Amino acid sequence: MVTYIYWALVIGVAIAVFVVGMKTDKVKLAAIGSIVIFAVGWAAYYFHFQQIFVKKWGGVMSISVPDGQFHIGATWKDEHLWVENYDPQTNTCHFTEYSKGNLLQGRVTIKNCNPLK
């Protein structure tokens, strides 16, 4: 829910800047301001707020299990989500970190892991 409120606020501010610019006959400046506001809002969400919203305030986030793997579990470490998947073809378990903005993703591979037995 908080994710939707955030985006409504960002888009609302961008539209408000554009409308004010149109009323003052500064359309070009208003368009640039609206684009900058939206870009900063997107970057702030992607690189900072997304996982905070999901973990602390019930936000929305989607990740996918790679083809051919089975999902085992997920846990939070600070503000980072760690997901464990099992690959039956290689008999390995993969812990993958989803960090803010996917900049510092960690990966741990456990060989000869067969949690399905």
On whether the pTM is more than 0.85, the answer is: no
Residue extents of the structural domains in the chain: 2-57, 70-111
CB under 8 Å to 88, separation ≥6 — which residues?
A: 68, 69, 70, 116
117 residues of the chain, pLDDT tens digit each? 778 888 899 999 999 999 998 888 888 999 999 999 999 999 988 887 877 777 777 777 778 888 988 898 888 887 778 889 998 888 889 888 877 666 557 788 889 887 766
At 35, list the tokens. 């684009």
* Beta carbons within 10 angstroms of residue 93's beta carbon: 20
> Dihedral (C-alpha) 13, 18, 21, 27: value to the nearest 10 degrees?
160
In sequence order, the β-bridge partners of residue 13 are: none
